[in-house]
Amino acid sequence: MIEEVTIPQSESPCAQPGGGGPLTYAFDRSEFWRTIPTWRDVDTETFGDFRWQQRNSVTSIQGIQEALGELARPALIADIEAGLLKTPMNVRLTPYIFSRIHWGNVEADPVRRQFLPLGSQFVPDHPHVMDDSLAEDSNKATPHLTHRYPDKALFLPITLCPVYCSFCTRSRVVGGSTAVKSKSTYGAKSNEWDATFEYIRSRPELEDIVISGGDALLLRPSQIRQIGTTLLEIPTVRRIRFATKGLAIMPMKFTSDIEWVEALGEVCQLGRERMKEVALHTHFNTDREITAWTSSAMKALSETGVRVRNQSVLISGVNDGFDCLHYTSKKLSSLLVQPYYVYLHDMVPGCEHLRTTVDRAEYLSRRLQGSIAGFNTPRVVCDAPGGGGKREISSYTLYDREIGVSAWTSPTAKPGEIFYYYDPIHRLPEDGQALWANEAEIKRRLAKFKAEAMAKAEATRH
Ligand code: SF4
């Protein structure tokens, strides 16, 4: 039986990077949302209704002020306003995740840092950032399908989410336009998916289909059924996964939207009949997102038979400490959520302050190994910019820590190509930062690095 107790948010290792303490599987079951002035009188039943969560989501600076009431310090509001002028992502937070922020220490808070950018925390983009860091658009097989790996494809039926994350790798398309980014966002239109299903039917090598976006949580139950049954009925498709951040930001969806869970349950049942896997891939970054609501959601999901895995993004000031990653992984494992990947932050615009280095990711990977059962130890990976796909963090061909550039090959997905990841300049040693400030010097150094990387890749090709 899982112990569910009330713990102060300040006891979370993710609130105190480098902290630590004994591991107890404690799940906050307090009425924590009542600390937010606007929800002071909201009872548990109301808070636990996904419709209420959606209706009361915070989507603007005015909404933040109204929710916080007397907690809305003018300097903080001005800082958030300045952040919104620089970010490619809209503001949207469910009351659940909004009230997981520790507003008494908001500047350093790891939940706030993921969803509400502060103008004062931005640093200039790296010169090598890419709008489409994973080359999803250039590998499109249909308007809604990216086919990058030989046996796996990414189906994007929707570009809307119940929350918007500052670090989103698809910031070029997800959510609405912002002051710095115009987008043509699309909702789920099931009449446009036939070409995608047809393409998957025509490519028997495609065994795995990821249904992402956007967030599958916002697909209607009929659309979950349509996508699930159509894909599972294609003989060559063996596994499907719905990607949703829902468990981390609106767990009550799984206990109060009975129709949605039933639709998922039917898809899982069909999967079992066909000996095919149906999985749900979710996205917790810290243990602060895990509460007694998560535990209830997982109990409901367990009954559908869906396999649940977690993918985190490694974010500076959020989860780049061993204690936080370790505790989050252990806590997820205790709820049958399998920690799967920790991604090095992609090289996308507007979130340089959130990225960290390959060196840091390697350190965390080494610490994680052996600290949890192997099947619950997340793999720390770099999704090689330019479309190289996921690479184990220590599998680079060459890494220059001074100028923060690493070279990666991808012999199966993109044979013969080399991909480069650039660490954030402000996290480099002083000499490295000085080199980036000197255009001629950094060009020379990068050219030398790339020549060495090519030679090494050639020498190690088998
Ligand atoms: S939920 Fe996922 S797709 Fe949506 S904004 Fe966050 S990271 Fe991007």
Give the pLDDT confidence score for residue 213 in this predicted structure: 83
Angle at 121 between CA 285 and CA 364, to 5 degrees: 35
Q: How many domains does the chain have?
A: 3
pLDDT in tens, 5-42: 444 455 677 765 444 455 567 799 999 999 999 999 99
The per-residue pLDDT for 7 is: 46
pLDDT for the residue 15? 62
Domain-located, residue 123: no
Q: 133-152: per-residue pLDDT in tens?
A: 888 888 899 999 999 888 99
Residue 165 CA to ligand 1 centre (angstroms): 6
Confirm if 28 and 288 have CB atoms less than 8 A apart: no
d(CA 96, CA 257): 16
345 with 434, same domain: the answer is no
Residue 433 in this model has a pLDDT that exceeds 70: yes
- Over residues 274-301, the mean pLDDT reads 97
SS3 content of the chain, % helix, strand, coil (to 5): 40, 15, 45
Determine contact, residues 96/33, Cβ cutoff 8 Å: yes
pLDDT of residue 11: 60
Cα Rg of the chain (Å, integer): 22
Whether residues 105 and 20 share a domain: the answer is: yes
Give, for ligand 1, the residue of 146, 161, 247 to mutate: max count of ligand atoms closer than 8 Å to Cβ.
161
Domain assignment present for residue 261? The answer is yes
Residue 340 lies in a domain: yes
415, 329: one domain: no
What amino acid is encoded at 229 in this protein?
T
What's the pLDDT score for residue 148? 87
The interaxial angle of helices 221-232 and 194-202, nearest 10 deg, is: 20
pLDDT digits (tens, 9 = 90+) for 94-120: 999 999 999 999 999 999 999 999 999
Kindly state whether residues 309 and 218 are assigned to the same domain.
yes
Q: How many angstroms separate the CA atoms of 94 and 460, rounded?
A: 49
What's the rounded Cα separation, in Å, for the pair 364 and 369? 9
Residue 164 Cβ inside 6 Å of ligand 1? The answer reads: yes
Is residue 124 pLDDT above 80, yes or no?
A: yes
Given 395, 410, 432, the domain boundary residue is 395
Residue whose Cα lies nearest atom 3 of ligand 1: it is 214
Q: Is the peptide bond before 104 cis (omega within 30 degrees of 0)?
A: no
How many other C-beta atoms can be found within 10 angstroms of the C-beta atom of residue 147?
Answer: 19
* Nearest CA, atom 7, ligand 1: 168
Could you tell me if 347 and 400 lie in one domain?
no
pLDDT at 22: 52
Residues 163 and 101 in one domain: no
Q: Report how far residue 423's alpha carbon sits from residue 359's, in angstroms, rounded to the nearest whole number.
A: 9
Of 265 and 18, the one with more pLDDT: 265
Percent of the chain having pLDDT more than 90? 87
Whether 130 is in a domain gets the answer no
Calculate the CA dihedral of residues 25, 29, 34, 38 and round it to 10 degrees.
Answer: 90
Q: How far is the C-alpha of 36 from the C-alpha of 135, rounded, in Å?
A: 41
Do 108 and 237 lie in a common domain? no
Residue 97 corresponds to which amino acid?
I
Cα 414 from Cα 421, distance rounded (Å): 16
pLDDT (tens digit per residue) in 302-322: 999 999 999 999 999 999 999
Q: Which residue type, as a one-letter code, is found at position 149?
A: Y
Ligand 1 atom with the shortest distance to the CA of 214: 3
Q: Specify if 127 maps to a domain.
A: no
The CB of 280 under 6 Å from ligand 1? The reply is no
Judgement on whether residues 214 and 304 belong to the same structural domain of the protein: yes
Q: Is residue 252 part of a domain?
A: yes
What is the rounded distance in angstroms from the CA atom of residue 321 to the CA atom of residue 125?
Answer: 23
What's phi and psi for 58, nearest 5 deg?
-95, 120
- For the cut 80, the answer to whether the pLDDT of residue 272 exceeds it is yes
Tell whether the model's pLDDT for residue 441 goes beyond 50.
yes
Q: What is residue 6's predicted lDDT score, i.e. its pLDDT?
A: 45
Q: Render pLDDT for 362-403 as a digit per residue (tens, 0 to 9).
A: 999 999 999 999 999 999 999 999 999 999 999 999 999 999
- Beta-carbon contacts of 67 under 8 Å, excluding residues fewer than 6 positions away, are 36, 37, 38, 39, 58, 95, 98
pLDDT at 95: 98
Q: What is the pLDDT of residue 17?
A: 43
Is this structure's pTM higher than 0.85? yes
Question: How far is the centre of ligand 1, averaged over its atoms, from the C-alpha of 93 (Å)?
Answer: 12
Same domain for 200 and 167, yes or no, is: yes
Please write the tens of the pLDDT for every residue from 51-95.
Answer: 999 999 999 999 999 999 999 999 999 999 999 999 999 999 999
| 358 pocket-lining for ligand 1 (C-beta < 6 Å) | no
